[in-house]
Each structure stands twice: as C-alpha cells, then as structure tokens.
C-alpha cells in the first residue's frame, strides 16, 4: 500500500490541460519552423532541415520533462540554491571561455558551441533564478515588507542579470525584470512598484523630451500618487505641490537664462528641483506628513536617473540595440537598414488576411524576413494561417499562462505557488515582447517565442521550466483526487 501511494505521488495528479497545451504549442512550433526554413533542395526528412533538428530537440525535451515528473518534488526546494550557483558559474563561463568554444555571435558572447551543438546558458539561468526566488521567498521568516528581505531577493535577480549584461545579451537579461510581477503577487507594496516601472519609462522619455518637460511629467505623476495616498487631504497637497511646480519652473527658467554660460540644462534642473524639494520637506515637517518624504524620495531618484540614461545608453547597449531603440521612438528612420526586419515582418503578417495563404505558401516570411525561424517565427503563422491562425496561437499561449496562474493559486506551499507564478511571468514576458516586436509595438530584443521559435536551448529550458511547475502542482493530495 505504501508503494502504491508513492507511485500515485509520482505519476498521479498531473495537470493534463497544461500537458496538452504544451504539446499543442510544440506542434505549432514544428509546423512553423518547417514552413519558414524548409529547403526544397534537400529531402524533407534530412537532418540539415531546421524542422528535423527542432523535432529532435522536442523529443529530447519530452524525455527531460518525463524525467522531471519522476523526481520527488522536494528536490527542487532542497537544491534550489545549488542549481542557482551552478547556473551563475555556467553562465559566467562564456565570458572567460576561448572563442573556439564560446564564440561571439552578433556581439554577444552568450553561447557554448561544441561541434553542431550550441547551448545558451542564460536560458537555464532563468530556471535557476525562479527556483532560488521561490526558495528564499518561501522561507517562514521572509517578509515582503522588510527591506532586508527585498534586498536579498533583488540580489538573486540582479546577479544573473549583471552576468548576462556582461555577455552583451541584453534581451535575455531584461526577461528577469518579469519577476516584479511575482513580487507584486506576493504582496509588494504597489507604491514600491512605481519607481521600478518609471525606470524604463524615463529611459525612453529621456530621448524624446527636454529636461523641463520631464520635470513637469515627473511632478505630475508623483503629485497624483501622493494625493492618492493622502485620502481626504488630497486637495490641500495638490495645491501645495502645484505651487512647487511653479517654483521649480520659475527657478529653472531664471537659472537657465541668467547662468546659461556656467550651467547646463541638467544643472539648472537640479537647482530647481533642490529648492522645490527643500520647500516640500519644510512643509511636510510643519504638517507632520510623513508620506510626502516617500514621494520625494521616489521623485529625487527619478530626477537623478534621467541624466544617467545617456550613460547607460552609450556604455551598456550595443550599436544595433541603440539603433533599434531610436528607430522604435521614431528618432531615426532607416527602412532598408535597422527598420527592415520589422517592416518586412508587418508586411508578412498583414498579407495573411483572415485565413492565411496556407501551409508552406508564405512567400514574404520565407524570403524577405530575416530570422524567420527564430525571433520572427510569428510572421509565418500570421502569413500562412492569417488572423484566425494567429489568434489560435495567442489563445494557446494565454491559456497556458493562465493555467500556470491557476496552478499557483491552488498550491498549499508558498514555494510551489511562487515558482508557478515565476514561470507564468517569464512566459508572459517572452510572449509579449516577441509578439510585440514582430508588429512594431516593442523594440526588437531578440528573445524567442516560447515552445515555437527554433532553438534547442530554448526548447529544453522552457520545457524544464514548465514541467517543474507541473511536478510541484502534482501533490499527493491532488494525485488521490485524480485517482478517485
């Protein structure tokens, strides 16, 4: 009887819906890769064909998935930190490994290459990070409202992010920002999410607006935020902060005009902000309003960040990444150069119409869209399956993500819940960015569409990521329910 219960815990209670969605997405990916990369000069079943290689990797991924389901779920909690440490070493190793084994591709030194096999360790670092985040946040002494605990979580997320940046693989590193959704689900104060969101927004806006315009936007945002926190006294505080705006504008204009030869625009801005902040602090002390200091802290940090955006832009990003951001913002226009990929992608998707051209009948995606079987794989679905087929792909992705969230909500253990939400957040980020860049809504980052884009590393990594969540969800209790 004991052996029977152990067998139930290993094989029973598996979420069949998640497995079916996974298999459907893998099949969609195989069909898209076959259509996008088919070389009619070779046999359809030749190993040189991309879809044959992808089928092989899908088979390996399924075997790995079955192995994961056989393991005791306690191992994932027990060895989370060890997996994280190994992943960091494995990922950082590409930076110091000779070019013969870790070649530089498109400016990024992010792959190991041994013969025909290429492995991107950053894909597996996401798994280890999800496990480590779940482990530390599931500790019974952890509190999402304690600064020290938040610092430890941030350290776990930022360590692989920094290593991936050193590889010059910014797109893969940005994926780790998706963990903010996990923190929010676990109770992170929404006001702490504002500065994190503002970082990306300010980075983009710093290329479009003058320092004065940014100052007005920042003051408006934080005025509204502070007013929402103040309840009944919001009118008084909006009036006060509005006067601070006028004071900052006047000081900025005076300092920029009279001291133009000695001060830059940012220096004049800093003088105006400093005076405004001092006035706001004096007011807060006189009225004993502590919440204004939190608002002022966010505001000052945002103002300081704006002039550093140029430094980040010049020192961190690669030339092609800079061009993609500037093109996305409309600052540069290069239809035959940096804009070519996105323009051809939109043409391909648009040419599919309602029901598409049919399997292997796509011409635009096959002959004119670069990276058609990897980053821009969605173009093939859009052209050959049309609007209807594209919606089916979106429905499958959304269904899997929502299923993971449902799996997370029914967990009794914090570790399993946090990990399920981590997987859902990573898949959501990948899907949103990949689909967004194919239709020009997001700058091109070069990250794959989960389970659909060509690539052995991404296929196996996404499979491991998902199947660990399925295994954690398959608790003995659910197994007994499934048996009954």
Query: Shortest CA distance to 273 belongs to which of 301, 237, 239, 309?
Result: 301
Cα–Cα distance for residue pair 312/335, rounded to 1 Å: 26
Mean pLDDT throughout 416-443? 90
Hey, what are 395's tokens?
């429905």
Cα–Cα distance for residue pair 460/340, rounded to 1 Å: 31
Question: Over 80: is that where the pLDDT of 466 sits?
Answer: yes
For 275-309, what is each residue's pLDDT tens digit?
Answer: 666 666 666 666 665 555 655 666 666 666 666 66
Question: Over 80: is that where the pLDDT of 142 sits?
Answer: yes
Burial (Cβ within 10 Å: 0-12, 13-18, ≥19) of residue 286: exposed
Q: What is the mean pLDDT of the chain?
A: 78
Question: Over 60: is that where the pLDDT of 126 sits?
Answer: yes
Mean pLDDT throughout 69-90? 91
Query: Shortest CA distance to 87 belongs to which of 3, 182, 156?
Result: 156
pLDDT for res 420: 95
For 326-363, what is each residue's pLDDT tens digit?
Answer: 666 666 666 666 777 788 888 888 888 888 888 878 77
């Amino acid at each position: 009887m004991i052996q029977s219960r152990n067998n139930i815990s290993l094989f029973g209670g598996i979420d069949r819906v998640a497995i079916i969605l996974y298999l459907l997405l893998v099949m969609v990916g195989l069909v898209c890769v076959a259509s996008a990369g088919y070389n009619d000069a070779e046999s359809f079943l030749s190993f040189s064909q991309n879809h044959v290689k992808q089928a092989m990797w899908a088979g390996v991924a399924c075997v790995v998935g079955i192995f994961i389901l056989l393991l005791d779920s306690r191992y994932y909690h027990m060895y989370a930190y060890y997996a994280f440490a190994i992943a960091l070493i494995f990922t950082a190793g590409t930076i110091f490994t000779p070019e013969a084994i870790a070649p530089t591709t498109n400016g990024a030194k992010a792959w190991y290459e041994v013969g025909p096999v290429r492995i991107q360790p950053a894909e597996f670092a996401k798994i280890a990070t999800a496990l480590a985040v779940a482990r530390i946040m599931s500790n019974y002494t952890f509190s999402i409202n304690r600064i020290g605990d938040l610092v430890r979580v941030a350290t776990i997320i930022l360590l692989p992010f920094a290593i991936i940046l050193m590889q010059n693989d910014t797109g893969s590193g940005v994926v780790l920002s998706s963990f903010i959704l996990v923190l929010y689900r676990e109770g992170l104060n929404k006001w702490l999410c504002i500065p994190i969101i503002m970082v990306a927004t300010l980075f983009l806006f710093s290329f479009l607006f003058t320092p004065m315009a940014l100052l007005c936007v920042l003051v408006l945002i934080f005025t509204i935020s502070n007013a929402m926190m103040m309840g009944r006294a919001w009118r008084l505080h909006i009036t006060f902060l509005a006067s601070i705006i006028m004071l900052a504008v006047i000081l900025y204009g005076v300092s920029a005009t009279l001291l133009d030869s000695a001060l830059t625009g940012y220096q004049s801005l800093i003088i105006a902000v400093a005076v405004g902040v001092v006035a706001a602090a004096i007011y807060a002390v006189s009225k004993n309003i502590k919440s204004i200091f939190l608002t002022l802290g966010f505001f000052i940090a945002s103002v300081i960040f704006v002039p550093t955006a140029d430094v980040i832009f010049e020192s961190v990003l690669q030339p092609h990444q800079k061009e993609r951001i500037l093109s996305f913002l409309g600052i540069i226009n290069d239809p035959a150069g940096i804009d070519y990929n996105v323009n051809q992608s939109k043409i391909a998707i648009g040419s599919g119409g309602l029901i598409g051209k049919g399997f292997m009948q796509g011409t635009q995606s096959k002959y004119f869209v670069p990276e058609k079987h990897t980053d821009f794989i969605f173009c093939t679905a859009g052209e050959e399956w049309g609007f209807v087929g594209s919606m089916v792909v979106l429905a499958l992705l959304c269904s899997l993500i929502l299923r993971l969230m449902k799996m997370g909500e029914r967990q009794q253990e914090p570790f399993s819940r946090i990990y399920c939400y981590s997987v859902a957040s990573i898949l959501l980020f990948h899907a949103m960015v990949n689909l967004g860049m194919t239709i020009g809504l997001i700058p091109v980052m070069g990250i794959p569409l989960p389970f659909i884009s060509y690539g052995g590393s991404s296929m196996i990594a996404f499979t491991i990521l998902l199947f660990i969540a399925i295994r954690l969800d398959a608790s003995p209790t659910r197994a007994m329910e499934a048996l009954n």
